Structures are given as structure tokens and as C-alpha cells.
Structure 1
């Protein structure tokens, strides 16, 4: 169980970092990180990190895909975790 928590911490840190890197690339007009990559990281358990990155860096806040999609992914993951862990 400890490894699951470590993996979740790492994937969320990666999601947060990817949002920061994408914001920096956007400011410098460089090649960006694809939305598919950001959603994949969120779907693999990094939704909280991506969601935090959206608001910490004010990045993708005007994209409904992100402002609605990432919280919905998080809610689905939370519901699944509760369902799996409920005694």
C-alpha cells in the first residue's frame, strides 16, 4: 500500500510540473506539451497535481476541457478509490 501512495505522489508531482513547464513554454512561444499528454497524466492518477497546476500557474483556466475535465477525472478517481477501499 505504501508503494501506491508513493506512486500517486510522484504522478501528481509530475502533473504539477508538466503544467508549469507548459506555461513556461507558452510564454516563450516554444513547442508545447500536448493536451493529450496532460490528460493522460491526469487519468493515470495525477489529476490533483494537474488541477493544482491549473490554478497555481493560471494555465488553461479558460479552457473548459481543463476546468471541467480535470476535476471530473479527479471526482471519478476519488469515487473509485472510496468504492475499492470501503470495508
Structure 2
């Protein structure tokens, strides 16, 4: 699992940086949907780092809201599965 998280974050980081490069060069861009999917499946750290380092998509309120919702969903998923593993799902 750790290897997956490392790899997906590296892929997400480089995909966001490639999209920024394409934006600067007026080339065909990577879809927001693709960027969000990479973020959702575990690339959140890579996405946020690329957004901060390259100042990419940070002024797009709609995109930032979607990233925020993905982060909230991931938090709830982690909490849910941790509670399920600990066998305390009745607490909810």
C-alpha cells in the first residue's frame, strides 16, 4: 500500500506540473477531470504540493472546492475503514 501511495503521488505531482507547463506554452491541456481522479485515488499530497510549488490552479475557486471535497471524502473514508477495522462501527 505504501508503494502505491508513493507512486500515485509522484504521478499526480508530475501530471500537475506537466499541465502547468502546457498552460504556459499554450498547448493542449490535461483535463481537470483527470487531475481530480488522480487526486481522488490517492495523489492528494502530490496534487497539493504541485499546486503550491507551481502556483497551478490556485486561483480557480471551483477547482479548489473540488479538491477540498476530495480531501474531506478521503478523511471520511480513512475514518470509516479504521473504525471498521477496530470493530467500533456502532459508535457512529
Give the TM-score range, shorter chain.
0.7 to 0.9
Displacement over 2 Å in runs of 4+: none
- 1:59 equivalent in structure 2: 56
- 1:13 equivalent in structure 2: 10
Computing the radius of gyration from Cα coordinates, the structure with the larger value is 2
Can you list the C-alpha shifts for 1:4-55, whole angstroms capped at 9, x where unaligned? 1110111111111111111111111111111111011112111221122111
What are structure 2's unaligned runs of at least 5 residues?
A: 87-92
Can you list the C-alpha shifts for 1:45-80, whole angstroms capped at 9, x where unaligned? 112211221111101111112222113212211221
Superposition RMSD on alpha carbons, in Å? 1.3
How does the TM-score come out when normalised to structure 2?
0.81
- How many residue pairs end up in the alignment? 84
What are structure 1's unaligned runs of at least 5 residues?
A: none
- Rounded to whole Å, the distance in 1 between the matches of 2:21 and 2:68 is 23
- 1:38 equivalent in structure 2: 35
- Rounded to whole Å, the distance in 2 between the matches of 1:31 and 1:73 is 25
How does the TM-score come out when normalised to structure 1?
0.85
1:32 alignment partner, SS class: coil
